[in-house]
Structure 1
Amino acid sequence: MRRLRRTPVWLPPALLALLLGFWHLGRPVLWRDELASWSAASRSVTHLWGLLGNVDAVSGTYYLFLHAWTALFGDSAVSLRTPSVLATALAAGLTAALGKRLFTARVGLWAGLLFTLVPAVLRYAQEARSYGMVTAAALLATWQLVRVLDCKPEWSPRRMRLEWLGYAGAMVLTGLLHLVALGVLTSHLWLVWTRRRRALRGFVPAAVLALLLLSPLLVAGQDESGRQINWIQRPDLAAFSGMLHDLTFSWPVSIALSLLALVGCTRREGLRYLPVPVLPVVAIWIASQGSNSYWVERYLLFTVPLWTILAAAGAERLPWSRWTAPAAVVLVAALAAPGLSAQSQTWSHTGTDWRGAAHVIGAQYHPGDAVVPQRGGAAVYMLDLGLDYYLPAGVHPTDLFVARSAVARNDLMVTECPHPAACLNGAPRVWVVTFGHATDPLSGLPKAQQSALRAHYVVDRVAYVKGLTLGLLTAR
């Protein structure tokens, strides 16, 4: 029992996060954002730099990291997602450490475990995107800030400057991984104001320094925002209730955490910290009323640990908390179990079976075959990248209507032939892959491509996989 008490408070949440994160890590089929990560990371540094000059500059730090990672460990789904699992485990440990520093060791332990049990956390722990890393970086910055606010009297002015530089560095890392996470600065300002107001003279220069260092990326992100995030709708006041669910992917878990957080607010200390998870959400809602909206649950994932810390404080406020607090965590685990199980299913990331389509093509492939994946208005759904990723080694059908590759044009999307009939290369067979299930496999293609193919090919057979129609055309 004594050894158990000596266990670092961060260790059980981190181990649980690793266990859940690696469970069936390779099972879910990659979705389009993960395919974009793979496409970017698989390029040379020169080509990757060219891509960032046109699109996705805000993801550049993550792409550069993933480029180095895949060079060492390969680009399987497990390898692509492993950094997110490790980052989420780090975030779970940091949640526990922050909860301990703000409240008690028991609060820290419950907070870390509750964070790990949130279905949305597992979802993004098993995704080849930066959100797990962003959460860990924002937590590291918050932990460092609280550490500075709790500084010891014997710390010298030089030591204090170094500590503030450490905080600024953590904020720069947070912004490099995702600019929206800079919303955590609102929480930090509240912590400084309520815990140690005179620390403003250190906090303000550190925050300004971080923003100045990030200013080139802020400018680039603004320039590219019209293409990157123009699909995000501007939220109204009713969007707050929707976000309450979306931050966890489970109404029962959201309600349980909210009730526990309210119990925590019956204590003066808990009430003082209530704005900490709220302020970033409100700030991003306000920012989303401008020309660009940022109201997407994965962009706000970094706030989830702050909610679980408040919920853990509430669990410790329950009567007979020695028993009821762990019972509350077990209850949340039971409520979260269906959601956690759902996140590791084959179709938890996408409803499009690129893997099955690639298997059909690979099993019947003949050298010289060509392929026509549906693009046009559906190009953003990355059908071509899905096929490229999952096609077996040695199966390389020519992408028939590509005039200029995505790599050549420093983009994630190709340029297609303006006159498809002029781009036919005499391939004896052509695989046409379109979204949905259709009797006519060519019906999803642009009219010019349909006409060019119908003039020289006939449909030999049609196959269906989840979300896709495959047609094999043979020359007339």
Structure 2
Amino acid sequence: MTTTLRLGHRRSRPRVDRLIAGRLPVFVALVGLMAWAVHARTRDLGAPLWIDEGISFGVAHHPLWAIPGVLRQDGAPPLFYMLLHVWTAVLGSTVRSGHVLSLLFAVLAIPAAFWATGGVFGRRAGVFAAVLVALDPFAATYAIEVRMYSMLLLMGLLATGAFLRAFVVAPGHRGWALGVAGALAAVMYTHNWGLFYVAAAGLVWLCLVAASGRPLRRQLMISGAIGFGGALVLFLPWLPIVVVQAQHTGAPWSHAPHWKSISTAFERLLGGRVPETVLLLFALAGCGQLLRADRYPAVRRAALATAGVALLTFAVAYAWSNLSSPAWALRYLVIVLAPVAIVIAAALSRAGPVAVAVLAVIFVGSWYGKPTHAAMAHKSNVAEVAQRLGPVLPAGVQVFSTQPEEVPVLHYYLPPSTRFATPLGRVADAGVMDWRDAMARLDRPEAATTFAQVLRRLRSGQQLLLVQPRFSAPSAPWTRRIRQLARRVQHDRLADPTVRVIDSVLPQHGFGRATVSALLLERQPASGQ
């Protein structure tokens, strides 16, 4: 028998006129927020691709059913890449079409935030959650990036909403339990941090079971078996590849987070230090009413469960990145944003009308215009390199990229006949970065001599495009090693007097992990010839 917990709503079924009056403003607000999200991002749909976006297109260009096998080299789940494959097969592989797919997920996340929050904490909280998802600069940054992050936010919101309904609002409801199974599987098939989210949700579910009386405990255990067991069954086909990826790919470009990473993470998550502080303070002010167990015990359980999922996802990822393989990147926190937005919105909805003014002031004072057009336009300068040098490159020219993961985005922009080599050797599949044991291969002595070998094979009159990274402050083992190799490459180039620079593109907008310089080299005839 299913038990449904009422979340403090005193009214019974509302009248028709009241129902229309209540839903119409919400509908208008959601449509307005979705329209704003589209309008604010439209100008950046043509922003140049950076490293990871080039990899997205490169993987997606493979045959649909070959993509899971290709991802043995990359270390990511397949769902986004397979969707991108179908999307580009219909709309083409242009930069704009790829960005539109991510924007579509970001726009759908707005009503998803309302649904996930409003059905548990009330319509006002649902609207606040939609506002946060629509206007937060962190979410907006990935709304037009050809990666899976806006999709991950959407899946995280749906999973959190289903979780609350299955284990708090209507424990024992088989339909919501099945919804949990599908949503959790989708999260895991979208990004590997989805595994941390599922682990956190599982821990929160166990806490709910332990804190419940015998009849409710039995219902929660049955729903949990359906939800988490079903998710495991759906994820089983991918599990062998996850094991291989965990053993051989990893993220050598990442670093183990430290204590400062915690404050940095939440500052980025909420769009800056000032909005982070203000939002958290006013959210805390609304927590008193939100957690009043004597009036609405189910609301209290829902709020604690949502906060638990958010904090435990962060904690599990933090611990894994320190105790096992580093898997830390601020952009991965988008899965944490889903429950964070829900719990902050729920708390703000209890803070009274002042919460509306707070959100308005934060938007005008801190969030409006972010991310800036310049930030989106300067993610990478590879498109500029291709625009300047692509037309003058001879057919079949070889490109040497000291940073191996730059190859897929170079491959996207440069002529199709271009050949590629890196310190790891000749690139067989230029659309994919092979991360399998990449750090160990990069540390081999032969990696330091690869460019010299390529240079020696350059015949008189033949050209070579050398692409070098321009790191500002490399902090991970991978980027530190790449900088060492870049210096060795520069030394080998200058040591050969018969090779001269005939054209170049140097960065104009500062340095970052995706910034490169490009030198077009040509072998000159030896003296006396």
Q: Same fold (TM over 0.5)?
A: yes
Structure 1 residue 69, shift from structure 2 partner: 1.1
Q: Secondary structure at the match of 1:135?
A: helix
Counterpart of 1:255 in structure 2 is 277
Counterpart of 1:309 in structure 2 is 342
Tell me, which stretches of 5 or more residues in structure 1 are unaligned?
none
Equivalent residues of 1:443, 1:450 under 8 A apart:
no
Equivalent residues of 1:265, 1:271 under 8 A apart:
no
CA shift in 2, pair 1:47/1:8, >3 Å: same
Could you tell me which of 61, 67, 74 is aligned with 2:79?
61
Q: Amino acid of the residue matched to residue 450 of structure 1?
A: R
Counterpart of 1:19 in structure 2 is 39
Q: State TM-score, norm by structure 1.
A: 0.81
Aligned: 1:35 with 2:54: yes
Q: Amino acid of the residue matched to residue 506 of structure 2?
A: Y
Counterpart of 1:5 in structure 2 is 25
Could you tell me which of 190, 202, 206 is aligned with 2:204?
190
Equivalent residues of 1:368, 1:427 under 8 A apart:
no
Cα distance in 2 for partners of 1:359, 1:445 equals 28
Structure 1 residue 457, shift from structure 2 partner: 3.6
Describe the superposition over 1:320-347 as per-residue Cα deviations: whole angstroms up to 9, x where unpaired. Answer: x34x232122112123335xx3424244
Structure 1 residue 399, shift from structure 2 partner: 4.5
Counterpart of 1:372 in structure 2 is 399
Could you tell me which of 352, 361, 373 is aligned with 2:389?
361
CA shift in 2, pair 1:351/1:427, >3 Å: farther
RMSD: 3.6
Structure 1 residue 32, shift from structure 2 partner: 0.8
Counterpart of 1:446 in structure 2 is 489
1:387-426 equivalent positions in 2, closer than 5 A: 387-391=410-414, 396-399=417-420, 404-407=426-429, 411-412=433-434, 419-420=453-454, 423-424=457-458
Could you tell me which of 297, 319, 324 is aligned with 1:291?
324
Q: Amino acid of the residue matched to residue 355 of structure 2?
A: A
Equivalent residues of 1:41, 1:63 under 8 A apart:
yes
Counterpart of 2:8 in structure 1 is none
Counterpart of 1:208 in structure 2 is 229
Tell me, which stretches of 5 or more residues in structure 2 are unaligned?
1-19, 293-298, 439-446, 472-484, 509-514
Q: Secondary structure at the match of 2:467?
A: strand
Counterpart of 1:471 in structure 2 is 519
Cα distance in 2 for partners of 1:119, 1:141 equals 22
Describe the superposition over 1:215-263 as per-residue Cα deviations: whole angstroms up to 9, x where unpaired. Answer: 4534433432353323333334443222211323411221122112212
Cα distance in 1 for partners of 2:176, 2:338 equals 23
Structure 1 residue 6, shift from structure 2 partner: 6.2
Cα distance in 1 for partners of 2:119, 2:250 equals 38
Structure 1 residue 167, shift from structure 2 partner: 1.9
Counterpart of 2:361 in structure 1 is 331
Cα distance in 1 for partners of 2:238, 2:166 equals 27
> Relative to structure 2, which stretch is displaced further, 163-172 or 109-118?
163-172
Equivalent residues of 2:267, 2:273 under 8 A apart:
yes
Could you tell me which of 353, 378, 385 is aligned with 2:408?
385
Counterpart of 2:501 in structure 1 is 459
Cα distance in 1 for partners of 2:250, 2:224 equals 32
Cα distance in 1 for partners of 2:268, 2:428 equals 33
Q: Amino acid of the residue matched to residue 458 of structure 1?
A: R
Counterpart of 2:263 in structure 1 is 241
Structure 1 residue 351, shift from structure 2 partner: 5.1
Equivalent residues of 1:464, 1:470 under 8 A apart:
yes
Cα distance in 2 for partners of 1:49, 1:360 equals 35
CA shift in 2, pair 1:48/1:344, >3 Å: farther
Counterpart of 1:118 in structure 2 is 136
Equivalent residues of 1:12, 1:113 under 8 A apart:
no
Aligned: 1:174 with 2:187: yes
Equivalent residues of 2:256, 2:321 under 8 A apart:
yes
CA shift in 2, pair 1:109/1:210, >3 Å: same
CA shift in 2, pair 1:411/1:184, >3 Å: closer
Q: Amino acid of the residue matched to residue 353 of structure 1?
A: N
Equivalent residues of 2:182, 2:230 under 8 A apart:
no
Describe the superposition over 1:286-308 as per-residue Cα deviations: whole angstroms up to 9, x where unpaired. Answer: 33332123333222212213222
Structure 1 residue 419, shift from structure 2 partner: 3.3
Structure 1 residue 142, shift from structure 2 partner: 2.0
Cα distance in 2 for partners of 1:417, 1:64 equals 35
Describe the superposition over 1:32-77 as per-residue Cα deviations: whole angstroms up to 9, x where unpaired. Answer: 1111111111233465344223333x33221121111111111222
How many residue pairs align between the two structures? Answer: 452
Q: State TM-score, norm by structure 2.
A: 0.74
Aligned: 1:435 with 2:457: no
CA shift in 2, pair 1:294/1:208, >3 Å: farther
Cα distance in 1 for partners of 2:264, 2:152 equals 22
Equivalent residues of 2:77, 2:190 under 8 A apart:
yes
Describe the superposition over 1:70-107 as per-residue Cα deviations: whole angstroms up to 9, x where unpaired. Answer: 11111222211222211122222111112212211111
Percent identical:
22
Q: Amino acid of the residue matched to residue 100 of structure 2?
A: T
CA shift in 2, pair 1:349/1:163, >3 Å: same
Describe the superposition over 1:368-391 as per-residue Cα deviations: whole angstroms up to 9, x where unpaired. Answer: 47343332xx223x0x33333234
Describe the superposition over 1:136-164 as per-residue Cα deviations: whole angstroms up to 9, x where unpaired. Answer: 112212222333346779xxx9xx44442
Cα distance in 2 for partners of 1:146, 1:46 equals 35
Q: Amino acid of the residue matched to residue 435 of structure 1?
A: P
Equivalent residues of 1:233, 1:293 under 8 A apart:
yes
Q: Secondary structure at the match of 2:79?
A: helix
